[in-house]
Structure 1
Amino acid sequence: MAASSSLPHVVFPSFHGPDVRKGILSHLHIVFERKKITMFKDQEMERCQQIGSKLIQAIREAKASLVLISKNYASSRCCLDELLEILKCKESSGQIVMPIFYDVDPSDVRKQKGDFGITFKTTCQGATEEKKQRWIEALTCVATITGEDSRTWANDAAMLEKISTVMLKQLKIQKLKEKFRIHDLDHNGFITNHELRYVMSTTDKQARKIVDKATDKQVRKIIKAADVDNDGQISFDEFVKFIENDENYDEFVKLTR
């Protein structure tokens, strides 16, 4: 696989098979493009048995990864190695990881059983015990991450719409959290009214509208609501947790109207 877009990609899709590429993945590209989410494209290059340096670079540069787990996902050693790298990035840099279980039971992925398990065992033939164990741990881990199960949806269109909406929101939250860390001038892990205004004004156009319209009282109200431990200050995690709540997020956005 190799990068093809002239723009930096934001989301890396891990998948296997031409049926997935021409089906759900192609539809996902369309939905993401409509919402201006850039996804890594591989120019339909044939996957090899080992993950290449360009793939590793693409995963590490991504803000998020979509793991499209189909029945044949575990038939590719390259995909399993992609998953190892993706989870490594999740642990080391907080990369967003969203699994999509496409016509496969998440329980089969977690326990490597059923047809998925049979395919996985075949792929493991000839691999070292250390590599097998790492793959098992990765599949077990990804199956516990919140994602979507296509079998619970009436159609793919509705599922992909939700995926794109959730992904866009998570990317915005991630960007805001990154800004907090950058502009925590005293590096104490907390933000003040002044720092909150500054971060909001440098995040994006919508945030600048918020900071222009928000009064000092409203900013203090946001900080008070997000101050979970009532210590009079707000940490990065407290604010992100506050924004992740749909009602709080909607109230926050209302300040732009």
Structure 2
Amino acid sequence: MAKTHQDGEIRFDPATVLITGASSGIGAELARFYARSGRRLVLWGRDPARLEQVARDCRTMGATVATRELNLADGAAAIAAFRADDDAYPVDLLILAAGLGDMRQQAALTERAETVLELGLVNFATPAALATAGAERMVGRRRGHIVLLGSVAAFHALPFAAGYSGSKAGLARFAEALRNGLLEHGVGVTLVSPGFVDTPMSRRVSSTKPFLQSAPQAARLIARAVEEERPHLIFPRIFAGLRLLDIVLPRPIRDFVLRRLKAEQAPRPTI
């Protein structure tokens, strides 16, 4: 891994990039963004057919690609898999892009307990454990960067998506703490908090999706944040303002507004 100057700009040049959630959405676009000759990509995903398509795309761009089919609900298996992959090719850039998005169904009074558990595992517990496993290895090498994909939902107590917003809020606080712990050891941490991005997850949401961005746009913004070693990327920028508004509004007003928000979502497809 090196940082070189090219055309007057800093370019982050990791030799090995491991990406979770690489079979679709932002993870797939990040894989394509980083694919180039001389670079190794380790791509994880749950859908083997889509994952192999992304791998083929990346190989045509010159990258060496290995894939792994894995469900992040099994955190212990994910940790073991990361250590095995890192043993084979030390990971310079670890992008934890996998996640699930589910909310309370319109006719239901609460979310399903099983769904909340799954969201906690996939969106928070396993990414946090993988980031820690990555940090263990990177600290010893005194180099590396870790990216955790959160959500602007972490900033707001969404009554129809308590499991999702709660899991992303936990990830946000973890990322901040991890970054503070690694700052003096040559390892960077970037939390990414996107709004709506045109991915299979967001397409399930049938309600309004303001300021929708494409997955390739999101990938470019994330890569730039890594190059600049930014601790936190929020996009679109208007959501940074909404975050501040959520902080400064008196709780009764904030709760009044949140209780009146509505959203509908199609069920998650099975793989």
- Shorter-chain TM-score above 0.5: no
Higher relative contact order (CA 8 A, sep 6+): 2
The structure where strand makes up a greater share of residues is 2
Q: TM-score range by the shorter chain?
A: 0.3 to 0.5
Give the structure-1-normalised TM-score. Answer: 0.40
The structure where helix makes up a greater share of residues is 1
Greater Rg, structure 1 or structure 2?
A: 1
Give the structure-2-normalised TM-score. Answer: 0.39
